[in-house]
């Protein structure tokens, strides 16, 4: 394949991040997004099950990512690591769990309306926040 153009993995936003896991990037978009995508795709493709399933076939990789985005394929502890290594990560007191740690501004839609957090730790982003889709 040296003289041919190599197939490209198309990483549209929907293939990289779901609504909940993409929210941390909103405040300073697109800061940190490309770094997240590079780290996440490397980790996902290093998963032996996914590597065996896709076998380097770009169409199969697209099928996997069309079923679930990178953020939802990664185990929670790895997703936290990818967030923490990202420039969006800032130290602060989480407005949800009250712990001091790395996190980001975050907004969530509730039945009562939009709720903005100045700082939400990544553990809460992954495990506690469940944005509702606006009606």
**DSSP codes joined into one string, 12-25:** -HHHH--HHHHGGG
Residue 132 has pLDDT above 60, yes or no: no
pLDDT mean over 109-116: 86
Q: Could you read off the pLDDT of 56-69 as tens digits, one per residue? A: 899 999 999 999 99
Q: Could you read off the pLDDT of 90-102 as tens digits, one per residue? A: 999 999 889 999 9
Taking a C-beta distance cutoff of 8 angstroms, is the pair 23, 125 a contact? yes
Residue 135 has pLDDT above 80, yes or no: no
Residue 5: per-residue pLDDT: 77
When computed from its CA atoms, the radius of gyration of the chain, rounded to whole angstroms, is: 16
CA 132, CA 135: separation in Å to the nearest integer?
9
Residue 2: per-residue pLDDT: 56
Q: Could you read off the pLDDT of 14-58 as tens digits, one per residue? A: 999 998 899 999 989 999 999 999 999 999 999 999 999 998 899
């Amino acid at each position: 394949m040296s003289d041919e153009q190599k197939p490209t993995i198309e990483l549209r936003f929907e293939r990289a991040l779901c609504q909940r896991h993409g929210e941390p990037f909103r405040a300073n978009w697109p800061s940190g997004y490309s770094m997240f995508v590079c780290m996440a795709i490397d980790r996902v493709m290093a998963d032996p099950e996914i590597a065996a399933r896709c076998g380097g076939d770009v169409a199969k990789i697209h099928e996997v990512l069309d079923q679930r985005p990178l953020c939802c394929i990664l185990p929670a502890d790895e997703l936290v690591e990818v967030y923490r290594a990202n420039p969006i990560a800032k130290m602060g007191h989480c407005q949800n769990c009250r712990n001091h740690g790395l996190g980001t501004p975050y907004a969530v839609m509730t039945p009562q309306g939009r709720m903005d957090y100045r700082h939400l730790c990544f553990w809460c982003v992954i495990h506690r926040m469940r944005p509702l889709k606006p009606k």
